[in-house]
Structure 1
Amino acid sequence: MSVVACCESYLLIGCHEGLILVNPSTRIYRVLPLVYVPSYSDYVRYGMCHCLDDEFNNDFKIVTIFRYDKGHYDNVDIVREVVVFSLSTNSWKTVECKRNGRTWIDDPVLVQNHLLVMILYDGSHYGRKMRIGCFDIKAERWSNDVLLPDILLCEIETNPTQKFLDDYYHLGVLDGRLRFSCYDMNKSTYNIWVMKDYGVKESWVELMTIPRQDVSHPIAYRKGSSHELLCIPKYSGKYLWYNIREKQFIETVIDGDGFDTSDFSFAYICKQSLLNFPGGLPIPSLSKEQEVDHDDDYEEDEEENDEYLLSSCKF
């Protein structure tokens, strides 16, 4: 069982039985109908959004994107398939199934109901190029790519290897805004960029620059502070506070019953919400002894992280 996507106040959990939508604040869950994903797919990713507009009647939509080879021997096509689930209809539907030559680099992230993923594709004269692909979950279609800053485009249009891209480029969300992390080979530093206005290329700002040995992905600000960030090093399960002004990392410990921050741990940030989705069921209560321990841990965690719930899942 593992977390495969998150959206504001909700988590999407994958298990052998299928997918489970969870509100960790109210401990309400709903099991979703199974979606067929070929076992031979070499890429499977999930994303979801909560549509609060009157037009969508408080609907949840979940996107499954997977890729697989189709054909035999020399006639093999790479096929990308996109399937969308609507909670209002309680059903899945395929919105795309076509040949696609793009290479997917990272897990999708959600910003303003748009699912964003870093993609690598073949250019006509400059080798391989990297862009941010955008899937509009409400409209259920691909829209215009999100442009990276010009200086970064110059650096990544030098035909880098796939391993290099996996190691040094990363998409994320920070305080509701799109965040892009990249390694500068010339300066041997790791740069963190944030897009202040979604979709506006000129709104990219460089948030901070850190040494390569301290490479981390920021996921949240400390309460009442605009210069202290909770970060996760890419290849470690440890959590760090980073002070932008002093340029220092301080390791922090997150305790909890059964909480394991191994090298294969990932964190998801959820804002607390009492708004539940229709058809949800309460998660079975723990024993009285476990409930006491859980309450103590929750109060300590709430004091540290304010309105955020930090969920970690071991893979």
Structure 2
Amino acid sequence: MYGFRDCSVSSLFNNSFNEANDLDYPRQVPCDVYIVGSVNGLICLVSWEKELFLWNPSIRKYKKLPNSKTKTTLGYCIEQSYGFGYDEFHDDYIVVVIFSMDDFSLPIEVKKYSLKSDSWSIVDNCPSMVPLPEFGRFVNGKLHWITISGPKLCMKRSILSIDLADGKWGEMELPCYWKGGRGVVLSLGVLGSKLSVLCDCDKTYMLDVWLMKEYGVKESWTKMFTIKMPDDQLVYGYLGQIRFHLASRSEILVVFGSSFMIYNLKGDPLRSSKVISSNNWDREEIYIESLVCPFSTVGTEDATKMGLKSLGCETMK
């Protein structure tokens, strides 16, 4: 079974031990959940049974979302890619689900949930691109996924986006991350308020972090830094779970699995930050403490920020 704990992000940057605190997890919410994302203190969860929930641990309120009622195709397994974000124009929280075939053929259907209307709607005109098994990243009012398209032998990878305000789709190219024709994109992320990509070009413990400095401009992709992971860290066990948090102009918090590392942009080696009671953390998300209610139609007007926290979902033994 699973449980949730959190700790203050600011405390991770000193050299003392930090206590991870148990959260009052709703009993009505399944224990086997994944963290889709967090916006303004609201955390979106999805269970193994594909049930969706919005939860604010700061005020101990949650909401189970209505079923999307998507029909399955006989004989095929349907893969579902999720994303969670905020539509500032309509002051609304949005969940997007892309339903696709497990053989990476074309997307079947895309649906969007609106908290304000408490209902699902179909999103049309999705490009012929299938997201990789990773949750969408919310930047600049849009959700983003790394996708593949084209014939199996020459599949193209790019970034698919959807604007949560008008439902328009977009496509962006990934940075030129390969060296000598080799390269692997590990995950899409957010660094500060900008889109980032984590790459491994030589299949080593050297990981490159690229940042899109000007949104939507391919030429603005910049390799910000290269991190040499400690030899004792099984990086490839956490491909989709490596997270970065920009704490200042000189330091970045790197989180993967149960490990919290501080990286200095000046090139100093990684140093660890110990979090007590976090040894079994499988998934992690940065969230802001707020008063936003998952039942409210109000977005950020009542979102009094009280601090930045790191939320961990762990296996309870």
TM-score between the two structures when normalised by the length of structure 1: 0.70
Give secondary structure in 1 for the equivalent of 2:84. strand
Contact 2:111 2:123 in 1 (8 A): yes
**Residue type matched to 2:164 in 1?**
I
> Partner residue of 2:113?
85
Amino acid at match of 1:207: M
Deviations 1:21-72 (A, max 9, x none): 122333332222122354954522221222232xx1x2221111121269xx
The answer as to whether partners of 1:116 and 1:135 remain within 8 angstroms in 2 is: yes
Q: 2:57 maps to what in 1?
A: 24
In the other structure, the counterpart of 1:46 is 82
Answering whether residue 41 of structure 2 is matched by residue 5 of structure 1, we say no
Q: Percent identity between the aligned chains?
A: 23
User: Shift of the alpha carbon at 1:137?
Assistant: 2.0
Q: What amino acid does structure 1 have at the position aligned with 2:93?
A: F
Mapped partners of 1:17, 1:132: distance in 2: 24
Partner of 2:136: 108
Distance 1:241 1:91, change over 3 A: same
C-alpha distance in 1 between matches for 2:69 and 2:245? 34
SS in 2 for 1:266: strand
What secondary structure, in the 3-state scheme, does the structure 1 residue paired with 2:101 have?
Answer: strand
Unaligned 5+ runs, structure 2: 1-30, 298-305
Give the equivalent residue in structure 2 for 1:219.
Answer: 244
Q: Which residue of 2 aligns with 1:285?
A: none
Instruction: Show the counterpart of 2:100.
Output: 67
- How far the C-alpha of 1:127 sits from its partner, in A, is 2.9
CA distance in 1, matches of 2:133, 2:85: 21
Q: Is the 8 A contact 2:41 2:288 kept in 1?
A: yes
Q: Does 1:127 align with 2:154?
A: yes
Structure 1 residues 260 and 188 mapped into 2: Cα distance closer, same or farther (>3 Å)? closer
Secondary structure, counterpart of 1:202 in structure 2: helix
1:237 to 258, 265, 269: 258
Q: Distance in 2 between matches of 1:67 and 1:123?
A: 16
- Paired positions, count: 264
CA distance 1:51–1:277, change in 2 (3 Å):
farther
Whether 1:176 aligns to 2:193 is: yes
Calculate the aligned-residue CA RMSD, in Å: 3.5
1:187 is displaced (CA, Å) by 8.5
TM-score calculated relative to the size of structure 2: 0.70
* Equivalent position SS for 2:121: strand
In the alignment, which of 159, 165, 187 is matched to residue 138 of structure 1?
165
What is the Cα deviation at residue 172 of structure 1? Answer: 0.7
- Looking at structure 2, the residues matched to 8 and 65 of structure 1 have their Cα atoms a distance apart, in angstroms, of 23
Within a 5 Å distance, the mapping from 1:270-309 to structure 2 comes to 270-279=287-296, 307-309=307-309
CA distance in 2, matches of 1:183, 1:309: 28
Between 1 and 2, higher relative CO (CA 8 Å, sep ≥ 6) is seen in: 2
Distance in 2 separating the partners of 1:192 and 1:99? 27
Alpha-carbon deviation of 1:85? Answer: 0.8
Partner of 1:33: 66
Matched-pair contact (CA < 8 Å) for 1:111–1:173: yes
Q: Where do 5+ consecutive residues of structure 1 fail to align?
A: 71-75, 281-305
CA distance in 2, matches of 1:42, 1:147: 27
SS at match of 2:149: strand
Going from structure 1 to structure 2, the CA distance change for 1:218 and 1:103 (only over 3 Å counts) comes to closer
Shift of residue 250, structure 1, vs aligned partner = 1.8
Q: Distance in 1 between matches of 2:52 and 2:138?
A: 18
Change beyond 3 A, Cα 1:99–1:69: farther
Q: 2:271 aligns with which of 232, 242, 250?
A: 250
Q: In structure 2, how many angstroms separate the alpha carbons of the residues matched to 1:218 and 1:77?
A: 29
